[in-house]
Structure 1
């Protein structure tokens, strides 16, 4: 058995796949099934070990923010790099979410966020939640300061 995320694009699956594997470390395109005219139909990728299939299926099923890809990174520099690249031609959202130029929703989150959101002190985690809801791109220092009461 295997589990795979499957995403329906109008016609940009190959372009999106190329962009995604450029941005996410340890990623690659694993296969492309093409139509007789040479255009991509199904593109299989691995994003840091996660299998994702992108299909050019036409406009019948647009992507929505009801599903997103979460990328957890170790530094503010990586948050900034991915955020800037993914919002290029896309739309920033709230709480670390964004929609890229292809219509796919992402959340770019720092690795320490779960610890700050689920700590033992309810007042500290509430403070982080309050600050988080005011952000678009996440700022690790501001979230940590909220947790620490700074």
Structure 2
């Protein structure tokens, strides 16, 4: 059976980034980190680092091979949280040295884009009442870090 694995290209500091990510997300682990044992266009033998790791239930590979294309919003990692305390914890940790953005987005200090979202948002956005959905959407668009109580209040009018 085929497996789908996300791949991340880091300019530098890949090992620190994935150690940080795996420390934040329960059920995560680093499988291995290695220097590429061959000369590459990015540098001499051993200068390019590669890694395999898991964040929650998702598999990743990564490479540290100098500048190429910076991370952007075309790829982001969504973390669906059950509670506000989970949102707050991840948000505070990931935004350190990075930047906050509207609608639950942030960019960490390595430039990777994240969406820290409450599971409840998906439930509220799929409500059969279009007026409730509209109120939730309007509230969501005004938020930077998601506030579950604020989304619930908007849903309830």
Does structure 1 residue 124 correspond to structure 2 residue 132? yes
Q: Which residues of structure 1 form unaligned runs of 5+?
A: none
* Cα distance in 1, alignment partners of residues 23 and 138 from structure 2: 34
- Once the 2 structures are TM-superposed, how far is the Cα of residue 39 of structure 1 from its aligned partner? 5.6
Q: Which residues of structure 2 form unaligned runs of 5+?
A: 38-44
Under a length normalisation based on structure 2, what TM-score does the superposition of the two structures give? 0.90
Match of residue 18 from structure 1: 19
Dislocated runs of 4+, deviation >6 Å? none
* Cα distance in 2, alignment partners of residues 39 and 125 from structure 1: 51
* Cα distance in 1, alignment partners of residues 122 and 79 from structure 2: 13
* Cα distance in 2, alignment partners of residues 61 and 28 from structure 1: 26
CA deviation profile, 1:31-83 (whole Å, cap 9, x unmatched): 11214576661111101121011111211111112110000111000000000
Structure 1 vs Structure 2 CA RMSD: 1.3
Report the structure number with the largest CA radius of gyration: 2
- 1:85 aligned to which of 80, 90, 93: 93
- 1:72 aligned to which of 65, 77, 80: 80
Does structure 1 residue 32 correspond to structure 2 residue 33? yes
SS of match in other structure, 1:22 = helix
SS of match in other structure, 1:16 = helix
Moved more, 34-43 or 8-17: 34-43
SS of match in other structure, 1:133 = helix
Match of residue 50 from structure 1: 58
